[in-house]
Chains A and B, each alone.
Chain A
């Protein structure tokens, strides 16, 4: 963007978010208080912005330059002069905690998800995994009726998960394609789940010093055939997640899981639950679906059998 100018149009508008489509780019304006996300701009200032009250409508033209975003049709102007840059990739992929602590932290996530998650998006399918893949030692989530839509997707989902566990580099694209776009919502539940999985693979890859290059390649294969099978908002999310770019809340949760937070167990527990809550609060079930993806990803990669395939060659010799 340096020195240049872009033109885009409003793709969708909500009270707290406004998506602008500029050719290949998809930029989201967010109101104050929202968590920062990849390719997003939080609109600051003393007053709370409401994009619907501002009468921003679909199709409206916005121009974007290095120091401002503006819409002449509505006389709207957002100055970027004092904008703080934010990285969608966590600077701190620290692996501060021991593996035992990591396992403890996963238990906290497990209990938190059981207690405060909204499971009707992906919960029934994760419950199914509990039975089909006992070696993952998952827990089940209550009150998740397995209706006909889950019957419809269950075999494809299992196929995808098996491809994931086996690190099926060649087949994973097709397997993912057969499930991407499943579920209600602007980001369908399955896409949120896959997004959580991909992010976890990258963070855990870094934690266990796995072959990150291969993990990135695997993630790119996951999304290789599915991006046009889902909504624009969701395909953008998947693209970012596949390279480890995600919103502040998920970054915070991953950091909380991979570290020992505070001075004692109680503080650690509190900070993990707090981070989990921030993720769960996204959308109706989106946050829980993403957290479930993270949870399943954690369970797969803490299992040596499935982690082994990602070990660097040099490490395999041990």
Chain B
């Protein structure tokens, strides 16, 4: 066995780097034992105890960094040093991300890129409004990704934007596609003649993705931020976005997406429908369909139905509600019967683990109409709030992208670790039958959402099998063939792991409901 010691005097690395080095060196095949750390007396004693010490190590001070390893390769030291340098350089490169000139202020950016007419702001909320105002004063459209901007600031910004003819998309606006360019969390969607104004991020992604799947395309996709249609803000940006699409020659059909707006705001927006000949589909998820249709707009059953109607209208075809499946009744029945046979007695509950908030909301609303009480961190009524959001109860649907799970952490569409950690816990519950999950692709999302979950899904299924139970996993990939993650690639991975994939969130929920119905005799 060869002792390999690498010492870096008076050198400090942050703990993330140290832990990364420890993990990676431990993984090396020829390394049998390793200590990485600062030269404290105790760490030196530890190296001695593990026979990893030498005179150099004995001389260390607490301010010196060291690696001491036992390797059965005679070139072990060189290999380890090379690996450590690689890891540290990789971290430095990753941190630097690019060497190109990156202006550090908005004014510098405007001078650097004179032709720019839009700015995306992603700053802590308390600074975001200030920067947004600056951008508007520079006659730039604004996409405000940041949240924690006050309502008062939002109203002020939107009024400035409206008066100057500029868009203020946000705050908390995650999705837009402007002139074919996906911004923040958005999918690669074919260009076409359907214009969208959305107050919901994943709701907008779902509709645009299905438009693409059906062969349609989008002209502009304008985000407003989730608070726009509340009474206080009064739908300022939904109205401005709507007007812009009415005036836009490339837009033939308009889709409006929001959770149910404040009634007076809905009234204001729906009154505008009369001012245009363009067909308007209003998808106010769970909202009043009669009210929408009374104003001459098309209402929808769910997000998929809204997308389908928009495509059919753009093709000049007859529309009707889509409430079923893309597969035939026989095929669906075969899946339902096949799955139900595999469960053991007592398995009856659903655990829906969503990364997309609007998709979770849509799932709960659909299941509510079937009589299910779904507990959640974003419940449809207060009594259905989970006592502990980290612990499911009976039928549960969680939005892992909500503040409960994301304070100080990346959104689960970027880093799905919250779901990776949650799924094994669900598989420990003998009464769980179905897990429902979304996989959101597109720019901004994780590079491999399916891959990140794969091992966990396989292990969860195996854990249930070991208890003579069966875990049915139903999934939905919100993405297009053009998305950087590769839709087909993602689909293959999940199907291989035994995930039943449906072509829309609504269909995934409907299938879930059918299986739950058999298990719960509803």
The answer, among A58, A148, A180, A185, for a CB contact under 8 Å with B33, is: A148
Q: Are B12 and A188 in contact (CB under 8 A)?
A: no
The answer, among A15, A149, A186, A230, for a CB contact under 8 Å with B95, is: A15
Contact A283/B62 with A33-B124, A184-B36, A229-B41 known, Cβ cut-off 8 Å: no
Task: Give bound CA distance, A58 to B43, whole Å.
Answer: 24
Tier of interface size on chain B: 35 or more
Contacts of B181 in A (CB 8 A): none
* B385 CB within 8 Å of chain A: yes
The answer, among A15, A32, A149, for a CB contact under 8 Å with B35, is: A149
Q: How far is the CB of A65 from chain B (nearest CB, A)?
A: 27
At the interface, is chain B mostly helix, strand, loop or mixed?
mixed
Q: Are A188 and B50 in contact (CB under 8 A)?
A: no
* B104 CB within 8 Å of chain A: yes
Q: Are B14 and A283 in contact (CB under 8 A)?
A: yes
Closest B-chain residue to A232, C-beta based? B63
* A89 CB within 8 Å of chain B: no
Task: Give bound CA distance, A148 to B388, whole Å.
Answer: 37
Q: Are B408 and A186 in contact (CB under 8 A)?
A: no
Contacts of A314 in B (CB 8 A): none
Q: Are B408 and A188 in contact (CB under 8 A)?
A: no
Contact with B along A236-261 (1 / 0, CB 8 A): 00000000000000000000000000
* B330 CB within 8 Å of chain A: no
Q: Are A284 and B62 in contact (CB under 8 A)?
A: no
* A193 CB within 8 Å of chain B: no
User: What are 10 contact pairs spanning A and B, CB under 8 A?
Assistant: A111-B388, A115-B390, A115-B421, A149-B35, A181-B38, A181-B62, A229-B40, A265-B387, A277-B409, A284-B19
Task: Give bound CA distance, A181 to B40, whole Å.
Answer: 6
Task: Give bound CA distance, A42 to B145, whole Å.
Answer: 25
Determine, out of A166-174, A207-215, A266-274, A291-299, the stretch whose residues face the partner at the interface. A266-274
* B290 CB within 8 Å of chain A: no
Q: Are A274 and B40 in contact (CB under 8 A)?
A: no
* B16 CB within 8 Å of chain A: yes
Contacts of A179 in B (CB 8 A): 42
Task: Give bound CA distance, A9 to B388, whole Å.
Answer: 48
Q: How far is the CB of A292 from chain B (nearest CB, A)?
A: 15
The answer, among B13, B14, B35, B42, for a CB contact under 8 Å with A229, is: B42
Task: Give bound CA distance, A83 to B23, whole Å.
Answer: 41
Q: How far is the CB of B309 from chain A (nearest CB, A)?
A: 39
Q: Are A149 and B19 in contact (CB under 8 A)?
A: no
Contacts of B98 in A (CB 8 A): none
Given contacts A186-B15, A277-B407, 10 further A-B contacts (CB under 8 A): A33-B124, A185-B37, A186-B12, A186-B18, A188-B37, A188-B43, A269-B387, A278-B408, A284-B16, A286-B15
* A220 CB within 8 Å of chain B: no
Contact with B along A31-69 (1 / 0, CB 8 A): 011000000000000111000000000100000000000
Q: How far is the CB of A191 from chain B (nearest CB, A)?
A: 9
Task: Give bound CA distance, A112 to B421, whole Å.
Answer: 13
Chain B positions 6-52 with a Cβ under 8 Å from a chain A Cβ: 10, 12-16, 18-19, 22, 33, 35-38, 40-43, 45-46, 49-50
Q: How far is the CB of A209 from chain B (nearest CB, A)?
A: 32
Contact with A along B115-149 (1 / 0, CB 8 A): 00000000010010011000000000000000000
Closest A-chain residue to B48, C-beta based? A152
Contacts of B13 in A (CB 8 A): 186
Closest B-chain residue to A275, C-beta based? B407
Task: Give bound CA distance, A184 to B37, whole Å.
Answer: 5
Contacts of A15 in B (CB 8 A): 95
Q: Are A231 and B63 in contact (CB under 8 A)?
A: yes
Contacts of A274 in B (CB 8 A): 407
Q: Are A186 and B38 in contact (CB under 8 A)?
A: yes
Q: Are B18 and A185 in contact (CB under 8 A)?
A: yes
* B105 CB within 8 Å of chain A: yes
The answer, among B14, B40, B389, for a CB contact under 8 Å with A188, is: B40
Task: Give bound CA distance, A176 to B40, whole Å.
Answer: 14
* A153 CB within 8 Å of chain B: yes
* A218 CB within 8 Å of chain B: no
Tier of interface size on chain A: 35 or more
Q: How far is the CB of A236 from chain B (nearest CB, A)?
A: 12
Contact A182/B10 with A46-B105, A47-B105, A152-B49 known, Cβ cut-off 8 Å: no
- 5 smallest beta-carbon distances between A and B, as pairs: A181-B40, A283-B15, A284-B15, A12-B12, A284-B19
Task: Give bound CA distance, A32 to B125, whole Å.
Answer: 13
Contacts of B387 in A (CB 8 A): 265-266, 269
Contacts of A278 in B (CB 8 A): 407-408
Contacts of A229 in B (CB 8 A): 40-42, 62
* A86 CB within 8 Å of chain B: no
Closest A-chain residue to B33, C-beta based? A148
Contacts of A286 in B (CB 8 A): 15
Q: How far is the CB of B203 from chain A (nearest CB, A)?
A: 25
Contacts of A230 in B (CB 8 A): 38, 40, 62
* B404 CB within 8 Å of chain A: yes
Q: Are B19 and A14 in contact (CB under 8 A)?
A: no
Contacts of B385 in A (CB 8 A): 266
Q: Are B15 and A285 in contact (CB under 8 A)?
A: yes
Contacts of A180 in B (CB 8 A): 40, 42
Contacts of A178 in B (CB 8 A): 42
Contact A152/B50 with A111-B390, A230-B62, A281-B408 known, Cβ cut-off 8 Å: yes
Contacts of A46 in B (CB 8 A): 105, 127, 130-131
Contact with A along B360-390 (1 / 0, CB 8 A): 0000000000000000000000000101111
**Which residue of B13, B19, B389 has the most chain A CB atoms within 10 A of its CB atom?**
B19
Q: How far is the CB of B367 from chain A (nearest CB, A)?
A: 22
Contacts of A284 in B (CB 8 A): 14-16, 18-19
Q: Are B10 and A149 in contact (CB under 8 A)?
A: no
Contacts of B35 in A (CB 8 A): 149
Q: Are A182 and B42 in contact (CB under 8 A)?
A: yes
Q: How far is the CB of B90 from chain A (nearest CB, A)?
A: 15
The answer, among B14, B36, B130, for a CB contact under 8 Å with A186, is: B14
Task: Give bound CA distance, A58 to B11, whole Å.
Answer: 9
Q: How far is the CB of A235 from chain B (nearest CB, A)?
A: 8
Contact A184/B18 with A47-B105, A115-B390, A149-B46 known, Cβ cut-off 8 Å: yes
Task: Give bound CA distance, A259 to B364, whole Å.
Answer: 34
Chain B positions 500-521 with a Cβ under 8 Å from a chain A Cβ: none
Contacts of A111 in B (CB 8 A): 388, 390
Chain A positions 113-148 with a Cβ under 8 Å from a chain B Cβ: 115-116, 148
Contacts of B15 in A (CB 8 A): 184-187, 283-286
Q: How far is the CB of A108 from chain B (nearest CB, A)?
A: 8
Chain B positions 60-108 with a Cβ under 8 Å from a chain A Cβ: 62-63, 95, 104-105
Q: Are B388 and A269 in contact (CB under 8 A)?
A: yes
Contacts of A58 in B (CB 8 A): 10
Q: Are A283 and B40 in contact (CB under 8 A)?
A: no
Contact A184/B46 with A231-B62, A274-B407 known, Cβ cut-off 8 Å: no
Q: How far is the CB of A205 from chain B (nearest CB, A)?
A: 28
Q: Are A184 and B19 in contact (CB under 8 A)?
A: yes
Task: Give bound CA distance, A232 to B35, whole Å.
Answer: 20
